Structure 1
Amino acid sequence: MDDACSVMNDILKSGLKPNVFTYTLLIEGFFKKGDSNRAFGMFDQMVAANIAPSDFTFNAVISGLCKVGRVSETKDMLNNFLKQGFIPSSVTYNSIIDGFVKQGAVDLAQSTYREMCESGISPNVITCTSLINGLCRSRKIDLALRMYNVMKIMGLEMDIAAYSALIDGFCKVQDMEGACKFFSELLEVGLVPNSVLYNSMISGFVNVNNMEAALSFHKKMIDNNVPCDLQTYTTLINGLLKEGKLNFASDLYSEMLSKGIIPDTFLYNVLVNGLCNQGQIEKGLKILKEMDGNNITPTVLIYNTLIAGHFREGNLQEAFRLHDEMLDKGLVPDDTTYDILVNGKLNISHAHARA
């Protein structure tokens, strides 16, 4: 943006006059950087230079406010722009609806949608997808299905993003029958599922303890050359460890590493927690050493899990050694750590849930 502004200054110095397009690009740029003050400063500079904002400019401001999390201000701004002759379009309303959805204010997104329809502006695929996404996140699956039916009535074709939102919603409420129905439908209409969609299905099946179905979707990913990512492997490994299938989990972990996918702290948490729950404390310690090798600082949760595991095994010396190692690494033990050290207990599942 500094470079863009210096070009703008060169334009002014050379006696040329920037036009509405020049200013609008700069306004958009500042909003993208999260600098709404300079974006509005540029808007005021444009108006002061007697350059009338275009609909493109007005939309850039509305969209920009939504990007920087100031969606609540868009209503007054829109009313102000209407007085200046601005004619809103689906682009305008889509920005506001999406902004409210991202803030979790799905009721306000719905009221904006109604206002849009009452203004005679037809919703498009982007509008409906945003709403389906917001409604599914809020567990309002019935309303999301109603929006799906609105799309059908209007002749709007569901795209992969719309199906992903709907399927993820069904997975989150553990309605895997509904999720499978829409997964089959998207295949029938010729759409190709991506990693995000497969991850939703895998996560959904893991959450209902159906590892067989989860692993079958993993196989489909490989068969269809859809890249498995860190989320795919973390979800599957977590599910397998909970069922005590350590060998399968280990094979998947090796497969993941062979693809050059680097584990993150969350996956290491899953591994240590799963191994310790199965009494595999030594393997859990190996994971701790692996983290050191990858220059990843273990979390307090990981140490708590290992300390608790050693307490269960009656190996108090190793438990206190791990406590000292925590301190050496600059980690601050929490209440759970001291509860283990004093009372020798830890509810692993609760600690994991809190993390």
Structure 2
Amino acid sequence: MVSNGVVPNVVSYNNMILAYCRVENMDKAYSIFSEMLEMGLKPNVITYSILMDGYFKNGDAEHALDMFDKMVAKKISPTDYTINTIINGLCRVGRSSEARDKLWSFVEEGFVPMRLTYNSIIDGFVKEGDVNSAQAVYSEMCDNGLSPNVVTYTSLICGFCKNKRMDLALKMQNEMKQKGLEPDVISYSVLIDGFSKTQDMESACRLFSELLEVGLCPNTAVYNSMISGFRNISNMEAALDMHKKMTNEGIPCDLQAYTTLIDGLLKEGKLLIASDLYLEMLSKGIVPDLIAFSVLINGLCRKGQLENACKILDEMDRKCITPNVLIYNTLIAGHFKEGNLQEAFRLHNEMLDRGLVPDDTTYDILVNGKVRGEKFVPGALVA
């Protein structure tokens, strides 16, 4: 444009700033903003709103609020979009109380909150674990004549589930239905996850069946919750059945699902099935992470499969994944239990060479022959 003599206008610069914000290059976005000023162009409310949103999404609330102050100093009035950007942005960075205070000040200046505004604050408080404040904002929303939608209820249900108040979570779902709102997959997913984590698989199964009855398709998150729930109550037969249903329905089985299944199977000593699932996972191009490797090594060591556990450690090295202290403690404990003290101390030295700092558990094993308070080697080893 410039080389052809076409002078960029405010819209052109706004689009360039937006593009850099979307690729999270805020330095370049601000550089374009500065260039705009040098060209004698006056940024508008859209310009400032784009930059504020970009900074908030990068977790930089201070620069975002600074852009708002600069905009106000130029006597540019914020739009509803601008205000919602600030409210949502503050909640995104864990400053929901500040967002609520800002909302009240904006209301005093004539801003009329919308459902989106309240949903942002409710969700923010829920993510911060403050479900009481989330409820207070919900009540304020209703008092102001705004009807909650599925997003509102799902946030509150999530908050109650996190606090293990499953009675209130179900109450919210029932209230949602009474108001003619149909729960979506996300709503069911949150509830199923809540019941799975409280080991109430009867209620989780009931909701899973209800989800199917209303014509919704369980997603990966739903299946992961069910698989994890069954693993937690040591019902691997049901967990494997969920995996089978998942595969038959064409729902992608991700790393989390495979890790959970392998962990449960190893705990029950079903090494062959666990090995088959691990190979199946690799065949799908799913790369194990530190958690998956920890599960494998811990499970193998627990069953005395130290040679195979060491092979997993070698595989981690090939994939350039550095083992953590927990993995080394597991291996050291395994060798110590088998009486292979030389290998246990070699692993301890290897830890140090990698720059890892042994913790109390490491020395409990090496010095006292204990793991989690249980002595597994007769006598104590004197350092």
Structure 1 residue runs without a partner (length 5+): 350-355
Corresponding residue number in structure 2 for 1:113: 138
2:336 counterpart of 1:311: yes
2:179 counterpart of 1:160: no
Corresponding residue number in structure 2 for 1:39: 64
Corresponding residue number in structure 2 for 1:208: 233
2:101 counterpart of 1:70: no
Distance 2:133 2:69 in 1: 29
The change in CA–CA distance for 1:39 and 1:256 in structure 2 (over 3 A counts) is: same
The change in CA–CA distance for 1:155 and 1:318 in structure 2 (over 3 A counts) is: same
SS at match of 2:129: coil
Corresponding residue number in structure 2 for 1:320: 345
Q: CA deviation at 1:343?
A: 2.3
Q: How many residues align?
A: 349
- Greater RCO, 1 or 2 (C-alpha within 8 Å, sep 6+): 1
2:111 counterpart of 1:86: yes
Code of the aligned partner of 2:188 = Y
Deviations 1:141-200 (A, max 9, x none): 111111101110111111111111111011011111111111111112222211111100
For the 8 Å contact 1:273–1:348, the answer to whether it is kept is no
Corresponding residue number in structure 2 for 1:23: 48
Corresponding residue number in structure 2 for 1:97: 122
2:244 counterpart of 1:219: yes
Corresponding residue number in structure 2 for 1:263: 288
Distance 1:82 1:89 in 2: 11
Deviations 1:23-54 (A, max 9, x none): 22222122112222222222122222222212
2:70 counterpart of 1:50: no
Corresponding residue number in structure 2 for 1:352: none
Corresponding residue number in structure 2 for 1:228: 253
Code of the aligned partner of 2:162 = R
Q: CA deviation at 1:94?
A: 0.4
SS at match of 1:147: helix
2:204 counterpart of 1:179: yes
Code of the aligned partner of 2:247 = I
SS at match of 2:371: coil
2:109 counterpart of 1:59: no
The root-mean-square deviation of aligned C-alpha atoms, in Å, is 1.7
Q: CA deviation at 1:304?
A: 1.7
Code of the aligned partner of 2:237 = E
SS at match of 2:346: helix
What is the TM-score normalised by the length of structure 2? 0.87
Distance 1:15 1:117 in 2: 47
The change in CA–CA distance for 1:308 and 1:348 in structure 2 (over 3 A counts) is: farther
The change in CA–CA distance for 1:240 and 1:136 in structure 2 (over 3 A counts) is: same
For the 8 Å contact 2:56–2:89, the answer to whether it is kept is yes
Code of the aligned partner of 2:180 = G
For the 8 Å contact 2:122–2:137, the answer to whether it is kept is yes
For the 8 Å contact 2:332–2:344, the answer to whether it is kept is yes
